[in-house]
Structure 1
Amino acid sequence: MTGVPLAEELLLLAYDDESGKATMPRISLDLGMAAAALIELALAGRIAYDDGALTVVDPTPTGEPVIDDVLARIAADTPHSPSSWVQRLRHGLRDRILGDLCEHGVVRDVDETELGFIHVHRYPVLDRSVEADTRQRLTAALTGAAPDERTAALATLVAVLRMESALGLSGEDAEQTHHRLEEIASGAGFTGEVSIEGSVVRPSVGLVVAALGRAVQAALGPRH
């Protein structure tokens, strides 16, 4: 596997660089982390969506410990639906990914105490280059550049999780951006209609992302 894991990219977008606090509901972020880890495995050719379930097609580790733990867990279990897996995986996954980012010097863990006994962790950014690359790729896609598989998958998750505010947008700008993100998802085949001709997205990846997108949307409920 090459590049920064999708879950790390998504998490960096979701945390404020200065305060180190999440800018979106924790349940949304946790579901997003689970979906991103599963999509990472699809991008790496390790899992597929077949007959309503996610299955392992190649158990070879990717080299990313958190992602490989997810792969091993799926391989050791009976097949489950995407909805089941995002619920099963969401607990504790964000903390592990934050731990990896701390270990690699991308963010730092600030442990503070509130009311004299409540521990609160913040994760301000130390190395802005990772998030800068992520935002640059998203911006290019939003302004018309053809995204690659990974960027299109990230754009799809941003749309599904309603993360326009993480891009510094609100009001009409946020709505226009959401519409564009949905266009990217649709054009990549990530909305359930997988198109092979002229697409940079592998159909196997498209099926997984589309199924996980539906699972997360169902868990979050209607968009307001």
Structure 2
Amino acid sequence: MTGVALAEELLLLAYDDETGKATMPRISLDLGMAAAVLVELALAGRIAYADGSLAVIDPSPTGEPIADEVLVRIAADTPHTPSSWVQRLRHGLRDRILGDLCGRGVVRDVDETELGFIHVHRYPVVDASVEADSRRRLAEALAAGQLPDERTAALATLMAVLRMEPALGLTGEGARDAHRRLEEIAGVAGFSGTVGLDDSVVRPSVSLVVAALAQAVDAALGKREP
């Protein structure tokens, strides 16, 4: 597996490029990133969803450190539901991914002090090309009438569940239209559970994992107004 990890894409989209501050609630992003790591493993053909649990079907490393650590953890543990795994993985994940992005020069860590003693970290973007590719793919997916590739469709599904339209610079009716399109992408891809596996245009094994994780994150965050 090469390129930018799905959880990194999600995090970069959720942070303001200039201020380096998160534009969405911590719990939402943490759950979304945990789901994204698991989706990454499904896309790489390493895990599958069966009998209500996530299971390893191929233990070989992907080459992505965080994903590989999770893969080893799933293989060594007893079976757990997608809901359980996103809760287990979300703690500390944000700091780990931010640290990796800082180490690669994608963002920088700005350590500031408020009220004389409270340390606040901001992460403004240094290399905008990484996030630019994510935004380009999403913009094309929103504008096109056809389904994007599996990876972009999975990212769109997570963004729909997390209601991340404002991260795309959209508000009001534009944000509502984008949300409907993101949900449409998830549905046509078979990620929302509304399309039968025989009709899904992506691999059924991936559809099952993404659909289960999307439902898990949605349930954890509770019902929200569109």
What is the TM-score of this pair, normalised by structure 1? Answer: 0.97
Deviation at 1:4, TM superposition (A): 0.9
Secondary structure (helix, strand or coil) at the match of 1:55 reads strand
Q: Distance in 2 between matches of 1:146 and 1:50?
A: 26
**Corresponding residue for residue 34 of structure 1:** 34
What percent of counterpart residues are identical? 78
Query: Residue 211 of structure 2 aligns to which amino acid in structure 1?
Result: A
Structure 2: runs of 5+ lacking an equivalent:
none
The aligned runs of 1:24-63 (5 Å cut-off) are 24-63=24-63
Q: Distance in 1 between matches of 2:27 and 2:200?
A: 36
Secondary structure (helix, strand or coil) at the match of 2:54 reads strand
What is the TM-score of this pair, normalised by structure 2? Answer: 0.96
**Corresponding residue for residue 166 of structure 1:** 167
**Corresponding residue for residue 6 of structure 1:** 6
The aligned runs of 1:136-215 (5 Å cut-off) are 136-144=136-144, 145-192=146-193, 193-197=195-199, 199=201, 201-215=202-216
Q: Is the 8 A contact 1:196 1:202 kept in 2?
A: no
Q: Is the 8 A contact 1:194 1:207 kept in 2?
A: no
Q: Is the 8 A contact 1:156 1:182 kept in 2?
A: yes
Query: Residue 73 of structure 1 aligns to which amino acid in structure 2?
Result: R
The aligned runs of 1:92-103 (5 Å cut-off) are 92-103=92-103
Deviation at 1:171, TM superposition (A): 0.9
Q: Is the 8 A contact 1:194 1:206 kept in 2?
A: no
> Compared with structure 1, are the counterparts of its residues 65 and 198 closer, same or farther at alpha carbon in structure 2 (3 Å cutoff)?
closer
Q: Is the 8 A contact 1:188 1:194 kept in 2?
A: no
**Corresponding residue for residue 107 of structure 1:** 107
Q: Is the 8 A contact 1:111 1:121 kept in 2?
A: yes
Aligned-residue CA RMSD in angstroms? Answer: 1.0
Cα deviation per residue 1:143-170 (whole Å; 9 max; x = unaligned)?
A: 0143000000000000000001101111
Q: Is the 8 A contact 1:6 1:37 kept in 2?
A: yes
Deviation at 1:194, TM superposition (A): 4.0
Q: Is the 8 A contact 2:44 2:62 kept in 1?
A: yes
The aligned runs of 1:60-139 (5 Å cut-off) are 60-139=60-139
Deviation at 1:23, TM superposition (A): 0.1
Deviation at 1:223, TM superposition (A): 1.4
Query: Residue 88 of structure 1 aligns to which amino acid in structure 2?
Result: R
User: Number of residues paired by the alignment?
Assistant: 223
The answer to which of 190-199 and 127-136 deviates more is 190-199
Q: Distance in 2 between matches of 1:76 and 1:116?
A: 45
